[in-house]
Chains A and B, each alone.
Chain A
Amino acid sequence: MLLSFFRLSLAIRNVWPQRMSLKAFIALYLLLLLAGMPVTLLSCIPYGLFGILVAACIYGLVAYRDTAAQNVVMGMIGFVLAAVTDDLLKNLPNMLIPPAVLSRQYVSAGAGLIRILLFYYMTLLCGRLLRKMLLSGKGILRLQQTWYLIDAALLLLITIYLFDNLIPGQNGSIGKMIYNNALHISGYLLVMLFLLLAMRRSWQEQIQTEAKKKALQDLQDYTHNLEVMYNGLRSFKHDYVNILLSISGYIENSDMDELKKYFDDKIFPTKKLLDQGDYKLNQLSNISVLEIKSLLSAKMIYAHESGIDVTIDIPDRVDSFLIDTVDLARILGIFLDNAIEATLETRQPQIGLNIIQNPAGVSIIISNRCQDNGVALHKLRQKGFSTKTGHQGIGLSNAQKIIGSYDNVLLETTMQCGCFIQHMELTAGKG
């Protein structure tokens, strides 16, 4: 019995959200033992199990306050894990070793030891996986909504339990009992369904808000960039006046040689300033959809800063992109990221972005110079294929999926002469 409680606390330790010190582990063990002792001795199973569960909950609430809620849930999972693993291992020695050998004392002790070790490693492994799934950055337990759901489910369970006990006529006919239970269970399922739907909705809303937040951030970058450009322009204006003044000085003195020298040294190089292309972003002002504008500006600023020759051409005002902006932002994000990464591998990185308003809709063309490394076009679109090592190749196939969900979005992909082009045609209505 001591051993089984040891195993239980071991399993809980392995799934615990935080590292458990030896002292804490021993405390947990003793607590469980204390809670479980009367049960096992008095063999009052249902309430005893409840006692153990409560003990683990209390321990979780008291021991590590900051992750209390997670502790309780992970503790419960620990119980399940312990039970399942133990069940699995129980039959293992019987299967591998003949009973005659097993009955010898030292063999059975060794088998017990191996069993505990196996138990430890199995729970450790499962614990790691579970923690990664549930608690890491985007784990399920990190979502606020999951907690609401868990709370609601617990509350409902308790209500039903109480209801079940309070309701009269429980001792009546079996038919009535079945009727009652069916009523309870269906009610429970219905409420859970509504809860799930509500949770899904709130989750979607959360995603939308996050996207909006990101868009706002990008827009701020864009504004900042515009300010820098404007300041550059102002200083250029200022310089321009000075240059005019000095030229007029040379002309008044009719000093042609000096003028020529001044022109070659000082004025002609300013041409370079103009060509630098810091003001390429200004064409983005033709896009009036804020989310898209901010995304494009963020990606283009990033590309420009990475030393890519960026060309942006948006000749007309684009007021609507005809599909959901969040979806479009995802597609464009994937395409632009791919384009930037691919073109950075070449010697003269170059990216082009064209957005053209047509009578029939909007064309978005993203082109990039790429290295011709023999990757066939059709492979790029497969899920799980990536030219980058260590990447999953999910991006393009995801974009494909989103595009597939729209009837009015058509994608053309071309790879010719070291130039990779994604041409997206968004049409109004059915194209």
Chain B
Amino acid sequence: MLNIFVCEDNDVQRQTIVKIIQNTVLIEELDMQLVLDAGDPYVLLEKVKASQNTGIYFLDIDLSSNMNGMKLAQQIRLYDPRGFIIFITAHSELSYMTFQYRVEAMDFVLKDNPAEAKVKIRECLLNAMERYTLQTNKTHKVYTLQAGGRKICVDYDDILFFETSGNIHKVILHAKDRQIEFSGTIKDLTGTLDGNFVRCHRSFLVNKSNIKEVDAKNRIIYFTNGETCLMSTRMMKGL
């Protein structure tokens, strides 16, 4: 069950949004319920603190309060780290990315065009539902790393290998289509990961399940996406 929260200071607009949401939930028979619609962010925050379930939050950015939508979202994140935050706003010049990076906002509904907003809200609800079911069904293990001030979650399945960077304090995670640098050492990592990860070289820690081919003669490991890494004879036995 997903809880839906709406925070919008303009009463008329709030009613419109609530109506769209209720209609969509009814028509699509979604496992959701509207818990609260409020104009005051503090009221909403109190309710969120008390709530146990994951929530979907529709937030306006301008809230005519000393707390704006962004700050509210940051507060909500503290209590509901996996909730779905959707911003409803007229500020088209603000780009989506900032919201995404700051509070991992799921989407962004512009209220300039009512017809479009309606479609978008519906999409958001369906999307959230889909992600929620995926999250709960999937028993995927996720590796969480701390890069600077943010936490990044990477599926274990996506990790190819860890590599020491040119800088001794940094490690690079090679995933299927991203590379993430973070502070740490390979030695510290070895203990924290599951049995699939094997140290095959002084500067590489590989995920066995993503290896495509091992060239024992030239001591090169090929991965599913074409990337390669080295292995040393001494540490080859682990594979």
Interface string of A352-390 (1 = CB under 8 A from B): 101010111101010100000000111001000000000
CB proximity of B67 to chain A, nearest CB, Å? 16
List A contacts of B149 (CB < 8 A): 358-361, 363, 425, 427, 431
List B contacts of A427 (CB < 8 A): 148-149
List B contacts of A416 (CB < 8 A): 177-178
**8 Å CB contact of B166 from A311, A358, A401, A414:** A401
List B contacts of A352 (CB < 8 A): 95, 97
Inter-subunit contact A410/B148 (CB<8 Å):
yes
For residue B150, CB closer than 8 A to chain A, the reply is yes
Inter-subunit contact B177/A412 (CB<8 Å):
no
Q: How far is the CA of A416 from the CA of B100 in the complex (A)?
A: 15
Measured CB to CB, the nearest residue on chain B to A413 is: B179
Number of residues of chain A lying within 8 A (CB) of chain B:
37
Inter-subunit contact B169/A412 (CB<8 Å):
no
Q: How far is the CA of A412 from the CA of B178 in the complex (A)?
A: 7
CB proximity of A136 to chain B, nearest CB, Å? 31
Inter-subunit contact A363/B101 (CB<8 Å):
yes
List B contacts of A401 (CB < 8 A): 166
Inter-subunit contact B174/A400 (CB<8 Å):
no
Inter-subunit contact A431/B178 (CB<8 Å):
no
Inter-subunit contact B178/A376 (CB<8 Å):
no
Q: How far is the CA of A358 from the CA of B70 in the complex (A)?
A: 13
- Residues facing B in A304-337 (CB within 8 A) are 311, 313, 315
CB proximity of B162 to chain A, nearest CB, Å? 14
Q: 12 other contacts beyond A410-B170, A431-B147, with CB at 8 A cut-off?
A: A315-B70, A315-B94, A354-B95, A356-B98, A358-B148, A363-B149, A363-B150, A367-B97, A404-B170, A406-B167, A410-B180, A412-B180
Instruction: Tell me the B residues contacting A by CB distance below 8 Å.
Output: 70, 93-95, 97-98, 101-102, 147-150, 152, 165-167, 169-170, 174, 177-183, 225-227
Instruction: Tell me the A residues contacting B by CB distance below 8 Å.
Output: 280, 311, 313, 315, 352, 354, 356, 358-361, 363, 365, 367, 376-378, 381, 400-401, 403-407, 410-416, 425-427, 430-431
Chosen A-B contacts, 27 in total, with CB atoms closer than 8 Å, are A311-B95, A352-B97, A358-B149, A358-B150, A360-B148, A360-B149, A361-B148, A363-B101, A376-B226, A378-B225, A400-B166, A404-B165, A404-B167, A405-B167, A410-B170, A410-B183, A412-B178, A412-B179, A413-B178, A414-B177, A414-B179, A415-B177, A415-B178, A416-B178, A425-B147, A425-B148, A430-B169
